[in-house]
A = this chain, B = another copy of it.
């Protein structure tokens, strides 16, 4: 006998979920609420709850804020995210915060049932189609165990390269930088290529992001 609570402000979705659960999960009660405050209130009043299905776009909880609140408020309650969003990173963030599953609203009926079953049995559920997509190449930046070997990459830039990088960071094109420094555009490109190579960047935007993270000295001074 499981008892679930779904917190979602779309009545239609709640109905659909209700239909799926009552058809597929025997001996299961499904309670409903359409906002976070109501969910917390319900949780405090009923302690037999097995799982909370939490939508990410509640009127009183935008994004993962609601999950954060719940995890600090009642960490004993398993929470699975139910959302229309398909971003890989969002799924990871939810799990990081302690969610026990992430169910896209586009999940077909029988797979949704399988996901719920899996979660209720103590496993985790992650949407395979989203997670199997290749991660963005900069995913490694989010890792916790980043050894501090990354430093000194900036220091290896020559003076002219740092000049060019500064102008890049102000949004200038190669042509503008060339005018500003009174050199040919091809020369600027050469510098840019060297910068990308030394920083391990894949584009000029990427290079700027890396530079800003590593605090290029007086790099973003306005002129």
A-side residues, CB < 8 A to B, are: 62-65, 68, 71-72, 75, 78, 86-90, 92-93, 95-98, 100, 122-124, 126, 128, 130-149, 168-173, 176, 179-182, 201-210, 212-213, 220, 222-223
**29 sample A-B contacts, Cβ–Cβ < 8 Å, listed by A number:** A62-B149, A63-B146, A64-B143, A71-B134, A72-B137, A86-B181, A87-B145, A88-B180, A89-B223, A93-B142, A93-B145, A95-B131, A100-B131, A122-B128, A124-B126, A124-B132, A126-B126, A130-B182, A134-B179, A136-B180, A142-B142, A142-B222, A168-B205, A169-B205, A171-B202, A171-B206, A173-B202, A205-B205, A205-B208
Q: In the assembled complex, how far is the CB of residue A189 from the closest CB belonging to chain B, in whole angstroms?
A: 15
Bound: A210/B9 CA distance, A? 35
> Which of B171, B176, B179 is in CB contact (< 8 Å) with A209?
B171
Are A135 and B181 in contact, CB atoms less than 8 angstroms apart?
no
Contacts of A128 in B (CB 8 A): 122-124
A100, A123, A182 — which one has the most chain B CB atoms within 10 A of its CB? A123
Q: Residue of B at shortest CB range from A123?
A: B128
Copy number in the complex reads: 2
- Residues of chain B within 8 A (CB-CB) of A86 are 181-182
Partner of A171, one of B131, B133, B138, B172: B138
Q: Contact between B205 and A63 (Cβ–Cβ < 8 Å)?
A: no
A223 and B171 contact, CB distance less than 8 A = no
